[in-house]
Structure 1
Amino acid sequence: MFLGCMRLGGEVGSGPLDAADIEAAEAAVGAALEAGITAFDLADIYRRGRSELVFGEVLRRAPDLRGRITVQTKCGIRLAEGDQPGHYDLRGASILRRVEESLERLGVDSIDTLLLHRPDPLADPADIGAALGSLHRQGLVRSFGVSNMSGAQIAHLQAHTPVPLVANQLQMSLRRRDWLEAGVLVNTAESAGTGFPLGTVEHCLANGIQLQAWEPLAQGRYTGLQETPAETAAARLIAELARVKETTPETIVLWWLQRHPARIVPVVGSTRPARIAACGDAVRRAPDLTHEEWYRLWVTARGAALP
């Protein structure tokens, strides 16, 4: 499991990091380590670089920490600035420059995994491949992956890349189920409405590509405020399963993802120590959901029977 660090670093544009920013980051990282989480997910755009910067400060204050954790970051999204709209940039030279900037903010010699954050329609896959190969040869990045890409996009990129792509990070949760529903709605009238490229999960499974789930707790829809009758019904079921299995509702929500044969790895995005701690059983215990319980959660959350 990863701790997603997108909320670390305080408010964008609030000036240099202050003591409160650093203390909040240290508390979140400490809670993650206490829960058994040793992998941390960042991106160059999170808080416009402040997340990497504050994480680097945490590492600087605990020199032995770097050797005990995995650091993953991303590049490829350029935020809007002035008259320039937000856009994607996976040109090779840009990838090299963004990695250099991330290394500097993090204060580390190498990144464990670099993910390409979004597909760039203008990018040359051979140019991307050359940049990734260069980063690997220099020892600046140990492994590579993608985020928000389909199986076909991954296969096309891999054909031009000398290093294996080992991860694909997607939005996946009990609430965001299109990755799952695309497969069972084949040959139904609902199939066109999923919007998810069929075969992506299968491609990752077949090629040993780790599936990482961003926003796996669905913004607390099942452990906090519900907005629909289906969410309310699912939250009740989750609370009951948590009671029976002597764990937390957060763990049940994560177990539902982890129970899938793809062995989905959640990226938990909370910075609250108590909420991070509530996810600990999803690290310490194997997913304790029966076949029937898993389906009951799915059908209850979707608010309708399967076809």
Structure 2
Amino acid sequence: MRTIKLGNSNLDVPVVAVGMMRINTMSKAEVQTLIGTAMDVGANFFDHADIYGNGTCEEIFADAVGMSSSVRDTMILQSKCGIREGMFDFSKEHILDSVDNILKRLNTDYLDILLLHRPDALVEPEEVAAAFDQLEQEGKVRHFGVSNQHPRQIELLKKFVRQPLVANQLQLSITNATMITQGFNVNMENDEAVNRDGGILDYCRLNDITIQPWSPFQFGFFEGVFLDNPKFPELNAKIDEIAAKYGVSNTTIAIAWILRHPAKMQPVTGTTTPERLADCLKAADVHLTREEWYAILLAAGNTLP
């Protein structure tokens, strides 16, 4: 599996991350097969969060792999915290407690990466900094990042946090691409010119923060997938045409479209199907041409000024 550096760290990670959000619906054998499908091709980066399955996904994962020190050494584990019922919480106490519980569920002594899940309106960045310092000093977390944050929120954290923020997990797909398309419409009088994220794409590139796109097949906010969806006939026809050229599935092309962007993003899968996961991972070996990338963008209904 092709790798990239995660942010400005020295950590080499696969270009596709394997999301574990839905494994609480699977049997142990099914989870083992899914994880094995990833590991067999070197996709050893697994993305978790303390809210996935109310924590059960982390427990299921650890049980499925038979977590031990030797197994742990073969994997890169990322988890997220900060979402509580009815609120977001970036307090020092909650971050520290969350990580202790994550480590217990994963049956490991450390996380490779911890992300703050969704922005907390009541965040006190001094508390985040104190939590990160303690977690780093105790060896519980090696790298830190955020999720769903815009540039000013990150800058506020960076004013106090010593550790580099190496990743930002953000929603992005072919049909949810305003992060990209607003850059075409600078100073234009149209809806596409609306800056909804503070220029987060360019900000992350300028600051060596790896964008981790989540829901790479979704349109809207969990409204469904665009692949093989009759709502997107032109897009699917174009993707199928290009997939046939490369001898891969439409799933592969959808991930390859994200990987083609020079920001060196690391999309996060969410599938529980080994065959579909294998198709996602094949995208690491597909390099779309500039013409193909733009053709897909336009087929999704985006326009160029």
Q: Same fold (TM over 0.5)?
A: yes
Does structure 2 conserve the Cα–Cα contact (< 8 Å) formed by 1:41 and 1:73?
yes
Residue 22 (structure 2) aligns with: 7
Per-residue CA deviations over 1:45-70 (Å, capped at 9, x if unaligned) read 00111111101112326763311110
- Do 2:119 and 2:148's aligned partners in 1 also have CA atoms closer than 8 Å? yes
* Paired position in structure 1 for 2:295: 296
Q: After superposition, what is the alpha-carbon deviation per residue over 1:190-240, rounded to whole angstroms, capped at 9, x for unaligned?
A: 34775622321111111111110101122773433x142xx2211111111
- Aligned partner letter, 2:253: I
Q: CA deviation at 1:73?
A: 0.2
C-alpha contact (below 8 Å) 2:181/2:302 kept by paired residues: no
- Residues 155 and 247 of structure 1: CA distance in aligned 2, closer, same or farther (over 3 Å): same
Counterpart of 1:68 in 2: which secondary structure? coil
Once residues 137 and 67 of structure 2 are traced to their aligned partners in structure 1, the CA distance between those partners, rounded to angstroms, is 29
The equivalent of 1:246 in structure 2 is 247
Cα 1:149–1:254, aligned 2, differ >3 Å: closer, same or farther? same
1:305 aligns with 2:294: no
One of 60, 73, 84 as aligned partner of 2:66: 60
Give the one of 27, 32, 51 matched to 1:26: 32
SS at match of 1:211: strand
CA contact (8 A) 1:136 1:142 kept: yes
Query: What is the distance in 2 between the residues matched to 1:223 and 1:2?
Result: 20
Which ranges of structure 2 fall in alignment gaps of 5 or more residues?
A: 1-15
Question: 2: distance between equivalents of 1:141 and 1:71?
Answer: 10
Q: Percent of aligned pairs with the same residue?
A: 36
The answer as to whether partners of 1:173 and 1:215 remain within 8 angstroms in 2 is yes
- Indicate the residue corresponding to 1:40 in structure 2: 46
How do 1:40-119 and structure 2 match up within 5 A?
40-60=46-66, 64-79=70-85, 86-119=86-119
- The size of the alignment, in residue pairs, is 286
- Mapped to 2, the partners of 1:120 and 1:99 lie a distance apart of 17
**Do the aligned partners of residues 192 and 175 (structure 1) sit closer, same or farther apart at CA in structure 2, a change above 3 Å counting?**
closer
* Structure 2 contact 67–107 (Cα < 8 Å) conserved: no
Q: Counterparts in 2 of 1:146-157, with a 5 A limit?
A: 146-157=146-157
Q: TM-score, normalised by structure 1?
A: 0.88
1:35·1:279 contact (CA, 8 Å) conserved in 2? no
What is the alpha-carbon distance in structure 1 between the residues aligned to residue 121 and residue 230 of structure 2?
36
User: Shift of residue 6 of structure 1?
Assistant: 0.3
Alignment partner, residue 214 of structure 2: 214
- Secondary structure class of the residue paired with 1:251: helix
CA distance in 2, matches of 1:130, 1:304: 44
Contact 2:179 2:199 in 1 (8 A): no
Which residue is equivalent to 1:198?
A: 198
Q: 1:222, 1:232 within 8 Å by CA — same for their partners in 2? A: no
Question: What residue identity is the alignment partner of 2:271?
Answer: S
Corresponding residue number in structure 1 for 2:267: 266
How far does the alpha carbon of each residue in 1:222-267 deviate from its partner, in whole angstroms, 9 at most, with x for none? Answer: 433x142xx2211111111011112221111111111111111110
Aligned to 2:189: 189
Query: What is the letter of the counterpart of residue 276 of structure 1?
Result: L
Task: Please give the TM-score of this superposition, normalised by the length of structure 2.
Answer: 0.89
1:254 counterpart letter in structure 2:
I
Change in 2 beyond 3 A, CA 1:195/1:50: farther
Q: Contact 1:42 / 1:74 at 8 angstroms: preserved in 2?
A: yes
Q: In 2 relative to 1, CA 193–207 (structure 1 residues): closer, same or farther, beyond 3 Å?
A: closer
